[in-house]
């Protein structure tokens, strides 16, 4: 291949498949400026503790900010475990296995090195998985990976929405490729809106500060009682608007064994401040830290009406948990 010839999409697909990834699409050249409608609406609805979205707004709307010399942007997808954990206390499916940020970023990193070498460049490119200031959902849609459902998630008509998205900015010249999806296929379905226990889905968007996923993962303070009552036992994330989506009947199993759940998180109450890090080692749950983990358990148990278990959590005396208990009207037994 000549230095200026672009790398074909079929070759990119092979590289991705070797890493257990589906090559979705390639944007080449990288768009300079993205439409801000989605961010504007989120900001207007309220970002809660995700003010970093506002802080990084300029970067998010200008994808080359992260790598000005980038010639192309590769969008990939990786399936996560589509089966649910059983039991009353529930966490999002994607947390079953290892922290996907690390798994996906290292795969993209290896692909970046190979693409760079193929073009005679020493650059490894820049991989972005969730944490980088990139407007990922807009870019994925532009690359043809799916449409935004009423649950506001990107849905592929081939595999649904139980998948993680990753991006690689590279200075290698890649053949542009549109994955071919984008047409709205929700039709008259409103299953996700009806199922959302906190009425967070309105007008094809998530009202951040009502969403269980936000409240259990991003929100640092007290969860309002009116919402906590409706948690249905969720203690980390929430999958309800995905589990009712008919397109997820096409979900596939993860290729990478690290993304499969080995165990049900049994005996959550027995996890202590000392064992938390070890119990959730290399899993996304660890990111919220022990105190928020206990706050979430308190709220989840409260929503299930399990008062005795709430007392066990409260007895530890963690400040955030005590403040949350006050909000929920749970009094320590000694005060009764």
Residue 170 vs 213, nearer CB to ligand SF4: 213
Q: How far apart are CA 56 and CA 60, in angstroms?
A: 6
Among 198, 208, 216, 311, binds ligand SF4 (CB under 6 A): 198
Q: Tell which positions 69-98 bind ligand SF4, by CB under 6 A.
A: none
Query: CA quadruple 74, 183, 152, 243: dihedral positive or negative?
Result: negative
Among 27, 76, 108, 245, binds ligand SF4 (CB under 6 A): 245
Tokens encoding 210? 């009502």
* 290 lies in the site for ligand SF4, by CB under 6 A: no
| Residue 130 annotated to the active site | yes
Q: How far apart are CA 334 and CA 328, in angstroms?
A: 17
Piece of 31-39, 58-66, 235-243, 293-301 that binds ligand SF4 (CB under 6 A):
235-243
**Cis peptide bond upstream of 320, omega within 30:** no
* 241 lies in the site for ligand SF4, by CB under 6 A: yes
* 189 lies in the site for ligand SF4, by CB under 6 A: yes
* 235 lies in the site for ligand SF4, by CB under 6 A: no
Residue 171 vs 218, nearer CB to ligand SF4: 218
Phi (first) and psi of residue 161, to 5 degrees: -120, 0
Residues in the chain: 336
Tokens 């993209």 sit on residue: 108
Catalytic residue among 40, 45, 99, 130: 130
Computed over its alpha carbons, how large is the radius of gyration of the chain? Answer: 21
* 227 lies in the site for ligand SF4, by CB under 6 A: no
Q: Tell which positions 147-166 bind ligand SF4, by CB under 6 A.
A: 149-151, 155
Residue 114 vs 241, nearer CB to ligand SF4: 241
Site for ligand SF4 (CB under 6 A): how many residues? 24
Q: DSSP 3-state assignment of 13?
A: helix
Alpha helices in the chain (DSSP H): 9-18, 37-45, 52-55, 57-61, 100-118, 136-142, 191-195, 212-217, 225-228, 240-243, 276-279, 289-303, 307-314, 319-328
Residue 130 vs 255, nearer CB to ligand SF4: 130
In the complex, the residues that contact ligand SF4 under the rule CB under 6 A are: 149-151, 155, 186, 189-192, 196, 198, 200-201, 206, 211-213, 238, 240-241, 244-247
Which residues are annotated as catalytic? 130
């Amino acid at each position: 291949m000549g230095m200026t010839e672009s790398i074909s999409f079929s070759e990119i697909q092979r590289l991705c498949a070797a890493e257990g990834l589906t090559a979705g699409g390639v944007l080449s050249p990288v768009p300079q400026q993205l439409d801000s409608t989605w961010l504007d609406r989120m900001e207007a609805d309220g970002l809660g503790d995700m003010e970093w979205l506002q802080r990084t707004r300029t970067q998010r709307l200008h994808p080359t900010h992260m790598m000005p010399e980038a010639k192309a942007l590769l969008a990939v997808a990786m399936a996560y475990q589509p089966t649910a954990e059983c039991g009353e206390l529930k966490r999002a499916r994607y947390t079953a296995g290892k922290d996907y940020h690390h798994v996906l970023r290292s795969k993209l990193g290896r692909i970046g090195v190979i693409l760079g070498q193929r073009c005679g460049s020493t650059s490894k490119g820049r991989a972005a998985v969730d944490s980088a200031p990139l407007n990922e959902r807009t870019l994925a849609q532009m690359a043809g990976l799916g449409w935004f459902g009423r649950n506001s998630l990107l849905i592929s008509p081939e595999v649904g929405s139980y998948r993680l998205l990753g991006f690689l900015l590279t200075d290698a010249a890649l053949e542009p490729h549109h994955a071919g999806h984008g047409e709205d296929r929700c039709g008259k379905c409103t299953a996700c809106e009806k199922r959302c226990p906190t009425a967070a889905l309105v007008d094809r968007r998530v009202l951040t500060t009502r969403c269980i996923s936000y409240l259990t993962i991003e929100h640092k303070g007290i969860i309002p009682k009116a919402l906590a009552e409706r948690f249905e036992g969720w203690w980390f994330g929430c999958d309800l608007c995905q589990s009712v989506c008919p397109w997820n009947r096409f979900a596939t199993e993860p290729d990478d064994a690290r993304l499969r759940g080995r165990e049900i998180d049994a005996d959550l109450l027995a996890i202590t401040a000392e064992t938390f890090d070890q119990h959730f080692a290399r899993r996304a749950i660890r990111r919220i830290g022990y105190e928020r983990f206990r706050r979430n358990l308190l709220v989840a148990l409260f929503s299930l009406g399990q008062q005795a278990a709430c007392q066990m959590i409260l007895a530890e005396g963690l400040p955030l948990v005590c403040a949350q208990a006050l909000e929920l009207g749970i009094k320590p037994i000694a005060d009764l």
